[in-house]
Amino acid sequence: MESTRRESEAVPRYRDERVRTLSGALRDMESQPDAPDRMQQVRHLVHELEIHRAELEVQNHELRESQALLEDSRARYADLYDFAPIAYLTLDRQGRIADANLTAAAFLGLERSNLVGRFVTALVPEETRASVRAHVRACLTENIRVSTEIAVARRDGRPLMTQMVSTPLLNGAGDITGCRTTLTDISAVKHAQDVLSFLARASALLSSSFDYVANIAAVVREAVPLLADVCIADVRDPAGHLIRVELADGNRERQRLARAARLLKPATARRTALGSVLELRRPILVRDYRPPVAGGDGGGIEHEGFVRACGARSIMYIPMMMRGQALGVLTLVTAESVRQFGGPDLSTAEDLANRLAMAIENARLYDDAQRAVRAREQVLSFVSHDLKNPLMGILLSVDMLLNSAPADERRRGWKQLERIRRGVQQMRHMVEDLLDVASIDAGRLAIELADEDLSRIVDDVVELLRPIARDTGIELRGDLAGEARRVRCDRDRIIQVLYNVLGNALKFTPRGGGVRVSAERAGPQALITVHDNGPGIPAELAPLLFGRYAQAAESARRGRGLGLFISRAIVQAHGGAIWADLEVERGARFCFTIPLASVADGAGVNAEAPSPPLPAIPQSPR
């Protein structure tokens, strides 16, 4: 622009010089004898003037076009600057506002003339001014781009969360003359983050216990004022009646009215808002509530007195749905905050209502399960007192008949009586197993510890099961040395464990096989091992061995699947462990530990003693 101006000023001087030269040439031509030469010179000068005149007109035209383009560019820049979607402020080195676009004026709720000349710190609450000063200082002194989250005070007094970004302004010499600052409204983003954080906390609180009434009340109180100015939770009790769980109001001036409304029974008639939501099982959103004289919303819905009295501006009623049933209603109201509910608010409220419904459902399912457990315990108690005693009477009567009947009568009825005795004994074991399971579930498994001789316990169990092993052609033996092995245990319970484990081994070992029980010392404990050379443990059953009712398919009709479950509970009650060793090449091996009475007394258990081999049997399919 400056060079063009200098060129345009030089053109008139050049033209004046040419004119003076032409005038002199004309005068000389009249007085000189060589007039033709002079005339030729005049023609040449006139031609040059015409050329320069044409050049000057072209330059003037180009200058006018450049000026028009510059004005158009300046106007476009002004439009882009003023109507940009982001608020722009230009700050000088003292932090004063040197310029502001129209978006910034609208963003802050002030006229642009009222912004220019003010310190930028005057736009923020007093508690955040130090952060703004540090922000501007860093931009001006460190020559860097600075970004800070700042709460800006609007003219209506409501704080607005913004992202303040400042970039240094440099002159031609590279010196910092100020900074260009942008303000971006991030209040919606921050609100969304706060809502997600609230929903996460609500889920954690609702799952912290099964007291859903207290948990829902706590969540409703925390929802104010984040989601609404007033939040109400009404839940159906198991009988189907709607009860008020909580009413939270953020306005302290209405606390007395809120306490009274909290004690009221919610109205569920057909025309009421709560009744309509429960019947239709759909949310109701009143975006702009304008209460008519009758107390409804103009659409035939009646709102309760507290909702009308709090000066509601916008209302949402959301059903707490679970499996197609409305378990309650969540009511959200805006009043003094002048907020108006929309689609995103409704989605958030429905999400919260679903979480509340899930908490109610889980708590009630838990109560149902507890009632079922108590009912089962009552049944087991009945079995214990009203079934076990008659079974014992039948068993004693059969034993008396078998022992006291004459020889000829005993031969005729012995088989029938023996069948009755075996059936009664099996039923008695079933009853005892069920009672043990009930004791384990209730945490009342009785253990009476004493110092016992492990070898005698093993011998007793082996002798008890030897008739069964003999009938099935299985060799059953215990490999324990003769010296005493003192253990700290409940004798009857350890006999029960060994009976279960050895009984399973005999059940799955084919005719001609063998079952061996051995013991060795393992630190301060005795390790008891039961090894058989049967078909082994199916891979699919291995993870479930010690679970309740776990058993192989081929033995489903020969047991109840409770033996190993009860054995594990007994061993754990002794402070030991029980497991199945799946690394054996053939058969199955079960191991369990119980504490020694003392290290000295347990020294007789020889871990180095070799175990005799099992008798060879044909390989059986697993």
Beta bridge partners of 514: 475
pLDDT of 552:
54
Instruction: State how beta strands 87-92 and 97-100 pair.
Output: antiparallel
DSSP string, 2-14: HHHHHHHHHHHHH
CATH number of 192-368: 3.30.450.40
Name the CA radius of gyration of the chain, rounded. 49
pLDDT of 603:
41
- 164, 150 Cβ separation under 8 angstroms: yes
Q: How far apart are CA 593 and CA 523, in angstroms?
A: 10
Q: How far apart are CA 317 and CA 276, in angstroms?
A: 10
CATH number of 83-185: 3.30.450.20
Determine whether 457 is exposed, middle or buried from the number of CB atoms within 10 Å of its CB (0-12, 13-18, 19+).
buried
DSSP string, 409-464: HHHHHHHHHHHHHHHHHHHHHHHHHHHHHHHHHHT------EEEEHHHHHHHHHHH
The fold of 450-604 is Heat Shock Protein 90 (3.30.565)
Contacts of 72 (CB under 8 A, 6+ apart): none
Determine whether 443 is exposed, middle or buried from the number of CB atoms within 10 Å of its CB (0-12, 13-18, 19+).
exposed
Does the fold of domain 192-368 match that of domain 83-185?
yes
For the chain, the residue count is 622
Residue 590 tokens read as 């079960």
Those residues of the chain that have pLDDT short of 50 are: 1, 4, 11, 294-296, 298, 482-484, 553, 555-559, 599-622
Tell me which H or E stretch contains 44.
helix 35-82
59-108 tens-digit pLDDT: 888 888 778 777 766 666 566 667 677 889 999 999 999 999 888 888 88
Domain residue extents for the chain: 2-81, 83-185, 192-368, 371-442, 450-604
pLDDT of 413:
62
Q: How far apart are CA 282 and CA 279, in angstroms?
A: 8
Q: How far apart are CA 217 and CA 244, in angstroms?
A: 10
Q: How far apart are CA 492 and CA 485, in angstroms?
A: 17
User: Cα angle vertex 196, ends 193, 199, to 5°?
Assistant: 150
Contacts of 506 (CB under 8 A, 6+ apart): 465, 468, 469, 472, 474, 476, 515, 532
Kindly report the backbone phi and psi dihedral angles of residue 176, in degrees, each rounded to the nearest multiple of 5, phi listed first. -80, 120
- Taking the CA atoms of 318, 289, 262 and 247 in sequence, report the sign of the dihedral they define: positive
Q: How far apart are CA 353 and CA 316, in angstroms?
A: 12
Rounded (to 5) percent helix, strand, coil in the chain: 50, 20, 30
Least Cα distance to 346 among 293, 284, 295, 406 occurs for 284
Pinpoint the alpha helices (H) of 245-342: 255-262, 273-280, 305-309
- 140, 179 Cβ separation under 8 angstroms: yes
Q: How far apart are CA 155 and CA 164, in angstroms?
A: 18
**How many Cβ atoms are within 10 Å of 432's Cβ, its own excluded?**
14
Contacts of 308 (CB under 8 A, 6+ apart): 291, 295
In terms of C-beta distances under 8 Å and separation of at least 24 residues, what long-range contacts does 239-243 make, across chains too?
242/266, 242/268, 242/274, 242/278, 242/328, 242/329
DSSP string, 106-147: HHHTS-HHHHTTSBGGGGS-GGGHHHHHHHHHHHHHH---EE
Contacts of 160 (CB under 8 A, 6+ apart): 107, 151, 152, 153, 154, 185, 187
- pTM of this structure: 0.58
